[in-house]
Amino acid sequence: MPADHLSCPNCKADVVKYRNPFPTVDIIIRKGDSVVLIERKNEPFGWALPGGFVDYGESLETSALREAMEETSLELHNLQQFRAYSEPDRDPRQHNISFVFTAEGRGEMRGGDDAAQARLFPLDALPSLCFDHARILADYKAAHPTQQSMRPKALSFVAKSGTGKTTLLEQVLPILKERGYRIGMVKHDAHSFDIDHPGKDSYRLSAAGAANMLIISPAKLAMVKQHDEQPPIEAIFGTYFNDMDLVLTEGFKRGPFPKIEVNRLERSPSLMCRGEERDETLVAVVSDQQLELDVPLLDLNNPLQVADFVEQHFIKG
């Protein structure tokens, strides 16, 4: 057993101080088909599961609840112990034993304490992870198979306001449609919106108290669904886009999906995803200027090139 040899302050005799591993907790917090990861403020830097050391006099369960609240601001429900991980080299700092829990997270997610930020990531689109957390999540996926393979692939187009990402998508979508692909679109609105019109029967019925309002015709349908909290985007995909080859989202700058950033020199010489913050989900940049990047640079004035990239990497890939 590893030990430190000390001297007794009274008799000066050698005393052996035995070292023991430190107990920690890590929490796999689920929201839809995604899990919550935090970006660490301290070394080792990078993305990791929420968690930390168990305080003296604290149960493992209480520690998991506390760490989740401190680092993500989420309340945990259905907390269950998953597995324990005890390899001596799993943490570069010292020998820490992790007791891993699973739970559902509720509330408004916000990074705090040792977490610079907290974000949702799909289980099939995880960033590089600290410690042995990639192994932990691989074990979790193997033990909890989901229908995520049935969920359509997703790709987010993001840009600073006024750059022209909608114009670019208007050019890319017809190309993909011409090639026979079914493409879904999700537009993110950070504010409240209303697509119904005062005076229409549907508007009157919603105003009267209908929680869901669906309008259907031989050619199309539309639903207005009221909710207290924005649902996980993955749940929306599973409900409305299962028959799509790919779902493109416009916006969701802090979303968990791979991102293509649209940039126009006249609007801004700098990027969002390679600026003060580095977004590991960035897969390409579409711009009209020359940039030194670690991801492919596509021509803003060549929508065919953008469509080819999307097809190769996200539909066929």
Domain that holds residue 78: 16-143
The per-residue pLDDT of the chain, averaged, comes to 86
Mean pLDDT, rounded, for 27-56: 90
Q: Do 129 and 159 lie in a common domain?
A: no
Q: Do 32 and 107 lie in a common domain?
A: yes
Predicted pLDDT at 243: 81
Residue ending a domain, among 143, 170, 196, is: 143
Look at 33-37, 228-232, 289-293 and tell me which has the smallest mean pLDDT.
228-232
Predicted pLDDT at 147: 46
Q: Do 158 and 307 lie in a common domain?
A: yes
Q: Given CA atoms 185, 186, 189, 195 in this order, what sign does their dihedral have? A: positive
Q: Which among 53, 33, 6 has a CA at the least distance from the CA of 233?
A: 33
Q: Do 155 and 25 lie in a common domain?
A: no
CATH number at residue 235: 3.40.50.300
Domain count, the chain: 2
Model confidence pLDDT, tens digit, residues 163-212: 989 999 999 999 999 999 999 988 877 656 667 778 777 778 877 878 78
Residue 85 maps to a domain: yes
Buried b / exposed e along 108-138 (16+ C-beta atoms within 10 A): ebebeebbebbbbbbbeebbebbbbbeebbe
Q: Using CA atoms, how far apart are residues 253 and 189, in angstroms rounded to an integer?
A: 11
Q: Do 191 and 305 lie in a common domain?
A: yes
CA 48 to the chain's CA centroid: 12
44 or 188: whose pLDDT is higher?
44
Q: Do 59 and 114 lie in a common domain?
A: yes
Residue ending a domain, among 126, 143, 160, is: 143
Predicted pLDDT at 33: 67
Predicted pLDDT at 36: 93
224 or 117: whose pLDDT is higher?
117
Model confidence pLDDT, tens digit, residues 241-297: 878 889 998 877 777 788 999 999 998 888 988 877 788 888 999 999 999 888 999
Q: Do 241 and 273 lie in a common domain?
A: yes
Q: Do 162 and 300 lie in a common domain?
A: yes
Look at 34-38, 112-116, 228-232 and tell me which has the smallest mean pLDDT.
228-232
Residue ending a domain, among 93, 109, 143, is: 143
Q: Using CA atoms, how far apart are residues 22 and 53, in angstroms rounded to an integer?
A: 8
Q: Using CA atoms, how far apart are residues 98 and 288, in angstroms rounded to an integer?
A: 48
Q: Do 130 and 170 lie in a common domain?
A: no
Residue 252 maps to a domain: yes
Q: Do 310 and 169 lie in a common domain?
A: yes
Predicted pLDDT at 1: 45
Take residue 27 and report the two structure tokens written for it: 């929490």
CATH number at residue 120: 3.90.79.10
Whether pLDDT at 150 is above 50: no
Predicted pLDDT at 152: 65
Q: Do 88 and 192 lie in a common domain?
A: no
Residue 243 maps to a domain: yes
11 or 134: whose pLDDT is higher?
134
Residue 181 neighbours by CB under 8 Å, 6+ apart: 245, 246, 311, 315
Q: Do 274 and 298 lie in a common domain?
A: yes
230 or 221: whose pLDDT is higher?
221
pTM: 0.56
